[in-house]
Chain A
């Protein structure tokens, strides 16, 4: 028992000590061996050329097949689009409201009515319908494919082991990365956007389907077997209904995923939709317009989500609606006919948004002037004392221009002595493992992500993997990083690691704190929930322009963009975890005489540890997913490589940069999962 508890720690000590020794050795040798600092270009392999060859070959063989598929998917999308466009907006609104009323009662009907009126008034009605047509094909397609994959994964372990990493890639590689090959394969047009949306939206459905089916208890299976159910009957009558709550979660996540891809799909064009409007106004740096258009995507997401959820819940509870469907449809049709009449009388014509966007633009501009000195000071301090040390280390950060003094040799010696003393003190009080980690942190602070020699970085990452999940995870890290080295993407990858790492540190600290506050106070919770909803559904492009207006192009803007997107899961999971702490535990803490602070740190946070860890994990995933978007405000790294590939029409480079992001995400995920499983 005692030995089992010690194993991970001993493993950790071995790993970290090796990494520390290697790092020290590399640092001492780096001036003599330049290849330690910068991996030589001639040692890389021409992966991108090979990938391009493979795509070329695939195109030769399968081009007619892909083009046929493209036509096959294009047809329903255009039919739906033309059909929707032909109906006057009042009639469609009446229809939507009728469906919403049936699914979710009066509040949802009211919400739908307001949303429809907003879309019409803002002047984006036609564009929104085009997006809706894309969603109307992509959503059922993703749900169907996700269901099938999920069921297959539930039935066969081997298939699951094969499909899981595929799903991970589909969800974490930025869409821009595979845009070029998709256009080549499927031809230019909205179908490419459709496929990209499906690629991104299938994984959540597949995962939730599998999870739901896996949760069906063995007893239930036995009962089904005893009552003589055939496998098919058992599946439809026992497994699916039991898994339904999880399927609903999947449905919700799939809708969100499809809609979040609408803007990415618009990059290609060919389908004047709302995403195109967001991109166009973003290109012109018109925050007001892009916000007005972006909010529509949020509104559609909420509407579709609540409607599908409402119907699914009704189906589950088998509650008899007050009015039979036939008669209800009759009433709805009558309402729509009335609306058709009304739209004959009312003047037709798109709204113009009442000058709302101009007012937003003016307000943001005024604000950027008013708080200019504050934002500049904030930015400078964050860069000098936080971002630069993480990127290039104290070694290169400290200069008379930044910290007001030079990092003289005497100071450097002082730094090393202080680090040695600190490590010794920690060794005495907390043992050798903590001392080694202190030492590594000190080394890292000195060199930063870009200054750390690559063998040391690989050793450090592998050591963390080894500590968390043993040799398997260590090998995963080592393999991933070695591949990145071989592809020649090491420097951009380290830049991405730096910008994500800095953002995640803030997300954990700030998001954790907000989560704690929200768990303590219902008012705070109610206040932040709509903000989080908005942050998670509005196209992240919309937020880029104001960030640049306040903080200019550069690392700090990218850093803020990533935080704005990655902080939401951290807050949500922290709050959820803390609120789920059993009251008995809190009472026990209270009777033991805990102060509120002690209660939080000694009882609540440790109990909610797993959810919080999951929140950190999700924050990292979101952060990595934002890399490609953050590159639009001047962050370098893998995200920028993806765009460079798009400009060069170099499918291979794009795929490699995308794979590097996905591979890092998978490594992080596996590390967290195994650390959590170990407890």
Chain B
């Protein structure tokens, strides 16, 4: 406890020294407002960015914001930047914001999300042949529920995230029905319950996510993704259908208010350079969600481990 406090104090003092050394000249000292969404990974990413901006001498403010509403807030600099926009679940709000001309995409965050169907490890006994997708053909009854019987149940993303699973199930000729979960909370509750009750579950989900630090959730191996498989029936395993392949790996983007490049050019460059890998983020998520460390401690850990990387970004941004 005491050492922790001391560390924090030391870090703060160090930060202050660095800050005075690196005050960005002639740039605005208005606060740069970064959005904080509800999930741990995003909070960590944003705090790393905030720490780095602080080292460069900028004022940083964290603003809690809903995932969709923040796209509106970005358009008039009510918030300045949002650093984890998952292209797969933002639907049209992202396009609309970029299309307005008031929001710019400032590059990829470097996370490569894995989005596919997952199942709890204990299901492998009930449905032999998993993780290969063809095993699912033989055991829909394992996953069936009262609403889908005789078909199996695939717990799908909420309808507002956008999902292609209805087409994919048809394309792969799997006897499953997709049931939208309605919310992230419902998805997580389904997964938690499947593990506590040891019941079967097939669920559309994504990684990196903190739930993987708690449960042994495994991915189904779908036929590999091929370009054109979603439009051209002849591409993919089923010659008569589209969507007969794996999901295209998505991308996580960083977006900022369009005026940022002019108002805070250095900060804009830094956020553009900021990257974090899947493994790094999963480690940090584990520290916070599993080991009960604070976000600040996890961020300090990352900063200590990756000093050459971020020092490079800062030097390049000046």
Mark A residues whose CB is within 8 Å of B: 179-180, 183-184, 187-189, 192, 267-272, 276, 279-280, 282-285, 365, 368-369, 372, 379-380, 383-384, 401-402, 544-545, 548-549, 552-556, 631-636, 640, 643-644, 646-650
Tell me the smallest distance from the CB of B114 to a CB of chain A, in Å. Answer: 20
Of A188, A276, A369, A647, the contact of B160 (CB 8 Å cutoff): A647
Q: Does the CB pair B190–A548 fall under 8 Å? A: yes
- CB–CB B182/A280 < 8 A: no
Is B190 in contact with A189, judged by CB distance below 8 angstroms? no
A180 to chain B, nearest CB (A): 8
Residues of A within 8 A of B91 (CB): 644, 647-648
Q: Is the CB–CB distance between A402 and B149 below 8 Å?
A: yes
Alpha-carbon distance between A554 and B79 when the two chains are bound, in angstroms:
36
A184 to chain B, nearest CB (A): 6
Query: For residue A544, which residues in chain B have a CB less than 8 angstroms away from its CB?
Result: 183, 185-186
Q: Contact at A649–B65, with CB atoms within 8 Å?
A: no
For residue A192, which residues in chain B have a CB less than 8 angstroms away from its CB? 69
When C-beta atoms are compared, the residue in chain B nearest to A555 turns out to be B147
The distance from the CB of B29 to the nearest CB of chain A, in whole angstroms, is 21
Q: Which of A268, A269, A279 has the most CB of B within 10 A?
A: A269
| B72-122 interface (Cβ within 8 A of A) | 72-73, 76, 78-79, 90-93, 96-97
B63 an interface residue at 8 Å Cβ cutoff? Answer: yes
**Are A284 and B185 touching (Cβ within 8 A)?**
yes
- Tell me, in angstroms, the Cα distance from A187 to B180 when the chains sit together: 31
Docked Cα-Cα span, A632 to B186, in Å, equals 7
Q: Which of B192-234 contact A (CB under 8 A)?
A: 192-193, 196-197, 199, 210
A–B pairs, 11, beta carbons within 8 Å: A187-B78, A269-B35, A283-B39, A283-B183, A283-B184, A285-B192, A548-B189, A553-B179, A553-B182, A632-B186, A649-B68
A633 and B183 contact, CB distance less than 8 A = yes
Q: Please measure, in the bound complex, the distance between the C-alpha atom of A272 and the C-alpha atom of B64, giving whole angstroms.
A: 6
Tell me whether A643 and B179 are in contact (CB under 8 A). Answer: no
- Return the chain A residue nearest B69 by Cβ: A268
Residue from A271, A365, A556, A649 with most neighbouring chain B CB atoms (10 Å): A649
- For chain B, residues 142 to 191, give those with C-beta under 8 angstroms from any C-beta of chain A: 145-147, 149-150, 155, 158-162, 179-190
Q: Are A187 and B73 in contact (CB under 8 A)?
A: yes
**CB within 8 Å for A643 and B160 given contacts A401-B149, A649-B92:** yes
A552 to B146, CA, bound (A): 11
Size range of the chain B interface in the assembly: 35 or more
State which of A269, A276, A401 has its C-beta within 8 Å of the C-beta of B69: A269
When chains A and B are docked, how far (Å) is the Cα of A554 from the Cα of B90?
23
What is the CA–CA distance of A554 and B177 in the complex, to the nearest angstrom? 12
Q: Indicate the member of B70, B147, B150, B158 with the most A CB atoms within 10 Å.
A: B147
Q: Assuming A188-B72, A279-B38, is B159 touching A644 (CB within 8 A)?
A: yes
Q: Are B92 and A647 in contact (CB under 8 A)?
A: yes
- Once bound together, how far apart are the Cα atoms of A635 and B181, in whole Å? 8
**A-side contacts of B64, CB under 8 Å:** 269-272, 276
Q: Which among A369, A383, A644 has the highest number of chain B CB atoms within 10 Å?
A: A644
Rounded to whole angstroms, the CA-CA distance of A554 and B184 in the bound complex is 14
Cβ of A179 and Cβ of B69 under 8 Å apart?
yes
Minimum CB distance partner of A557 in chain B = B186
How far does the Cβ of B47 sit from chain A's closest Cβ, in whole Å?
A: 15
**Shortest distance between the CB of B193 and any CB in chain A (Å):** 5
| Cross-chain contact A553 with B186 (CB below 8 angstroms) | yes
Q: Check A649/B197 contact, CB under 8 A, given A188-B65, A284-B185.
A: no
The residue in chain B whose Cβ has the minimal distance to the Cβ of A365 is: B196
B181 touches A553 (CB 8 A): yes
Contacting B181 at CB < 8 Å: which of A271, A365, A634, A647?
Answer: A634
If the complex has contacts A368-B197, A640-B180, are A187 and B69 also in contact, measured as CB distance less than 8 A? no
Nearest chain A CB to B290 CB, angstrom units: 13
Say whether B189 contacts A401, CB under 8 Å. Answer: no
Contact status B63-A270, CB under 8 Å: yes
Select B182's contact among A380, A401, A632, beta carbons within 8 Å: A632
Given contacts A269-B69, A270-B63, A647-B160, whether A380 and B146 have CB atoms under 8 Å apart is: yes
CB-contact partner of B189 in A272, A380, A549, under 8 A = A549
B129 at interface by CB-CB < 8 Å: no
Extra 4 A-B pairs, beta carbons < 8 Å, given A280-B38, A369-B196? A383-B146, A634-B180, A643-B159, A648-B93
Query: With A649-B93, A649-B96 in contact, is A270–B65 under 8 Å at CB?
Result: yes
Give bound CA distance, A383 to B189, whole Å. 21
B27-71 CB mask vs A (1 if < 8 Å, else 0) is: 000000001101100000000000000000000000111101111
- Within the assembled complex, what's the spacing in Å between the Cα atoms of A556 and B145? 11
CA distance A384 to B185 in the complex (A): 27
With a cutoff of 8 Å between Cβ atoms, the chain A residues found around residue B63 in the complex are 269-270
Q: Which residues of B contact A401 (CB under 8 A)?
A: 149-150
Taking the closest CB of chain A, its distance from the CB of B236, in whole angstroms, is 28
A384 to B65 CA separation, bound complex (whole angstroms):
42
- Expressed in whole angstroms, the Cα–Cα distance for A12 and B65 within the complex equals 53
Question: Which residues of chain A have C-beta atoms less than 8 A from B97's C-beta?
Answer: 649
Q: How far is the CA of A267 from the CA of B64 in the complex (A)?
A: 10
Given the known interface contacts A402-B149, A553-B155, A634-B186, the answer about A267 and B66 at a Cβ–Cβ threshold of 8 Å is: yes
User: Given the complex, which residues of A lie within 8 Å of B210, measured CB to CB?
Assistant: 284
CA distance A268 to B190 in the complex (A): 26
